Chains A and B, each alone.
Chain A
Amino acid sequence: DGGITQSPKYLFRKEGQNVTLSCEQNLNHDAMYWYRQDPGQGLRLIYYSQIVNDFQKGDIAEGYSVSREKKESFPLTVTSAQKNPTAFYLCASSMGQSSLHFGNGTRLTVT
């Protein structure tokens, strides 16, 4: 079955460390997205990519970085510059005018 795989489901890191969240899709979708979800704030767009080797900042890109070397993969790095990294991170993909397909998320806890 086609879908989006995010790993790991839970991730724990010490403050000051960079951490990379994985997102892989086998839907052959061109566009991929990273959202951050915090209680009571809905989803906020971090980065998105419409095509391989190209990506754009979303509304809250500071402290994050991404790469899009392959169509199937869109990893997100949470850097030590991100002041409040503890959150639920959701990856999504889309093709043309279709709706977004979401992965099951990664819950990151930084202490």
Chain B
Amino acid sequence: AQSVTQLDSQVPVFEEAPVELRCNYSSSVSVYLFWYVQYPNQGLQLLLKYLSGSTLVKGINGFEAEFNKSQTSFHLRKPSVHISDTAEYFCAVSASGFQKLVFGTGTRLLVSP
């Protein structure tokens, strides 16, 4: 079975500063990895995904993530955040297609001026 750990429940950061949201996963087989963003009272929107190939994945809104197999990590980064990036971010993993997508508990990114 797969599992995902997002150690930081909340990350406060100032506008225009860089940010990294951490995600570690556990799986005995090859995985697909995802980052989703959720704005208040809305559904989840895909930021980026890693299926295979290049370990550096670029997504929407200037976000990117790097797949590190040896450290079983898939951390999300942005070089300069905006107020509008304030939201909850979920890391997710799947090892057998998308029927069993397992989500982390989420990290709330709080961007202040």
Contacts and interface: CB of A to CB of B under 8 A. Distances in A.
Interface of A: 4, 6, 9, 31, 33, 35, 40-45, 48, 50, 56, 90, 92, 94, 97-100, 102-105, 107
A42 B46 contact: no
Contact of A50 (B46, B51, B99): B99
A104 B42 CA distance: 5
A42 B41 contact: no
B98 A107 contact: no
Contacts of A9: 41
A69 B41 CA distance: 29
Interface of B: 9, 34, 36, 41-46, 49, 51, 90, 97-101, 103-106
A43 B103 contact: yes
A42 B103 contact: yes
21 contacts: A4-B43, A6-B43, A31-B98, A35-B103, A40-B9, A40-B105, A42-B90, A42-B106, A44-B103, A45-B101, A48-B99, A92-B44, A94-B98, A98-B98, A99-B34, A99-B46, A102-B43, A103-B43, A104-B42, A105-B42, A105-B43
A42 B105 contact: yes
Contacts of B90: 42-43
B44 A102 contact: yes
A97 B98 contact: yes
A105 B42 CA distance: 6
Given A105-B41, A105-B43, A100 B51 contact: no
A109 B97 CA distance: 33
Contact of B46 (A4, A6, A56, A100): A100
B41 A107 contact: yes
B44 A97 contact: no
B52 to A, nearest CB: 11
A77 B41 CA distance: 21
Contacts of A90: 43-44
Contact of B98 (A40, A100, A103): A100
B97 A97 contact: yes
Contacts of B99: 31, 33, 48, 50, 56
